[in-house]
Structure 1
Amino acid sequence: MKLLHIDSSILAANSTSRLLSAETVAAWRAAHPDTTVEYLDLAIDAPAHFSADSLGIKTGVQAQPTEAQKRENELSEKLVSQFLAADVVVIGTPFYNFSIPTQLKAWIDRLGQVGRTFKYTEKGPVGLAGGKTVIVASSRGGVYSTSEGGQAMEHQESYLKAVFGFFGITDVRIVRAEGVAMGDDARATALASARADMLVATGEAANQKDVAQVA
């Protein structure tokens, strides 16, 4: 089993989403020891934002691609191939200005390729990347999930569910810590809640239950 671990926070060791994504990967490996992990840190190694050169070869408008288009296409192919090869994708994402980091959006823009992750048919788009599990390790300074107003401002988890659903991935699991900037007690509660979600999302909860029953 192949797991692709992605971080996107710019806060390095101070990042809650990085903490949660690392713990999620560790919990997954504890429950699934045969897993191999590949890591991508988008805060350090982010693709350039989507451009005409990024799309150039895909459109087929030009008979001869430019050198810039070839370089951009090579990067896009590398990223989409890495994504498609993974059975499980764990994404650490903070909540920046009601959405995801631009680095993570730039990565997703490289994945959205006709014929690779989706296709258009006479009945509409069809995802081609199904069969994967995506676990989103989500952190938020405030609380957005418990009110109508908060949910209306939330374009982080909802966006990721939508775009991966468009790619054909129906198994998107959320490990969420929200309210982490609302004081020490709120942060501790948020992390405890996220870790409980984590055990369920990774299958480690069932693993621990089996161990307890044997004991």
Structure 2
Amino acid sequence: MATLLRIDSSASGENSKSRQLANEFVEKWLAKNPDGKVVARDVAANPLPHFTSETLGALFTSEESRTAEQKAIVAIGDELITELESADVVIVSAPMYNFGIPSTLKSYFDYIARAGRTFKYTETGPVGLVNKDAYIFAASGSFSAGEAFNHQVPHIQTFLGFIGLNVKETFIAGGQAMGAPGEEAFNEAKAQIAVAV
């Protein structure tokens, strides 16, 4: 049975355009994988703690020396990484907030980036260890793909590639606060999803 892990990060809930694009993909994926399982993690509705000195301290303390509090901190990342490792396909939906990704999604990335689990250091540089396909669903109010102010999509693509995820396609609906151009971009992204799954 195939498992799809979806990570949603928009604070707009079901009104989110990036989430609506992800819904389109999931619906079509389930049609092709009727026995498939979808695991949903909404980091906007259930935000993770941001990294602090305590977080780093727990990660860099040997397992046998960790306090109960440190073990609880490390367990957060352990759960997320195990969830990621158990999936066959990963999808990420994200809005653009102030030129980049939501801080809740950044926190998720911080927790799943762990040397020895999701990537490793080598003599020629870091190598990702999560060998799975991934898809990105992005929306923004004013900007489109490729514009200089867009630090949203490149960030997601770079991070997913860093941990070894193979980004098959990125679906972008820019200009969602601009009326007709945004509607056209959204419909175009939906059409692309229809033939991609």
What is the rounded CA distance, in whole Å, between the counterparts of 1:168 and 1:89 in structure 2?
12
Residue 153 (structure 1) aligned with residue 149 (structure 2): yes
Among candidates 177, 183, 192, match of residue 188 of structure 1: 183
Does the Cα contact within 8 Å between 1:138 and 1:174 map onto a contact in 2? yes
In structure 2, give the amino acid aligned to 1:24: F
Q: Following superposition of structure 1 onto structure 2, how do residues 11-30 of structure 1 map, counting pairs within 5 Å?
A: 11-30=12-31
Q: Deviations over 1:61-101 (max 9, x none)?
A: 69622332111101110011101111111111001111111
5+ residue gaps, structure 2, are none
What is the rounded CA distance, in whole Å, between the counterparts of 2:168 and 2:58 in structure 1?
31
TM-score scaled to structure 1, two decimals? 0.85
**Cα–Cα, structure 1 residues 81 and 63, in superposed 2: closer, same or farther, change >3 Å?**
closer
Number of the residue aligned with 2:164: 168
SS of 1:153 mapped into structure 2: coil
What is the rounded CA distance, in whole Å, between the counterparts of 2:30 and 2:62 in structure 1?
45
Deviation at residue 34 of structure 1 after TM alignment? 3.1
Q: Following superposition of structure 1 onto structure 2, how do residues 95-174 of structure 1 map, counting pairs within 5 Å?
A: 95-130=96-131, 132-145=132-145, 150=147, 152-174=148-170
Q: Following superposition of structure 1 onto structure 2, how do residues 33-52 of structure 1 map, counting pairs within 5 Å?
A: 33-52=34-53
What is the rounded CA distance, in whole Å, between the counterparts of 2:43 and 2:190 in structure 1?
23
The structure whose Rg is larger is: 1
TM-score scaled to structure 2, two decimals? 0.92
**Cα–Cα, structure 1 residues 43 and 64, in superposed 2: closer, same or farther, change >3 Å?**
same
Residue 197 (structure 1) aligned with residue 167 (structure 2): no
5+ residue gaps, structure 1, are 203-215
What is the rounded CA distance, in whole Å, between the counterparts of 1:60 and 1:72 in structure 2?
11
**Cα–Cα, structure 1 residues 188 and 126, in superposed 2: closer, same or farther, change >3 Å?**
same
Regions of 4+ moved over 4 Å: none
In structure 2, give the amino acid aligned to 1:186: P
